[in-house]
Amino acid sequence: MATATVKDIQALPAVLTMKHIQEVLGLSKPKTYELAHTRGFPVVKFGKALRVPRDAFMHWLNDQVES
């Protein structure tokens, strides 16, 4: 079972890898890549490499909270 290991999101680089996303959310690797391919997730593709702008990710994450 994966667990979140990141304590301070601002300490992460401005552009996150899928490994960073996995550590922030505490998801498995397959679930992280599944999430990256969902509509609306702020992923940027560089060939086969997937990257996520940290600030866009935080905005997306905050938008996921149900009120």
Residue 24 lies in a domain: yes
Contact 6, 23 (CB under 8 A): yes
Residue range 21-50, pLDDT digits in tens: 999 999 999 999 999 999 999 999 999 999
Categorize the per-residue pLDDT at 6 as very low, low, confident or very high, splitting at 50, 70 and 90: confident
Q: What is the domain range of residue 33?
A: 9-63
Going by the DSSP 8-state scheme, the letter that residue 10 receives in this structure is: G
Residue 33, in any domain of the structure = yes
Residue 30: both structure tokens together:
């397959």
pLDDT of 47: 96
Distance separating alpha carbons of residues 59 and 29, to the nearest angstrom = 22
> How many independent structural domains does the chain possess?
1
The answer to the question of residue 44 being in a domain is: yes
Claim: this prediction has a pTM higher than 0.75: yes
The CATH number that applies at residue 21 is 1.10.10
Provide the 3-class DSSP secondary structure of residue 46.
Answer: strand
Task: Evaluate whether residue 26 is within a structural domain.
Answer: yes
| CB contact set of 50 (below 8 Å; sequence gap of 6+) | 17, 18, 33, 36, 43, 44
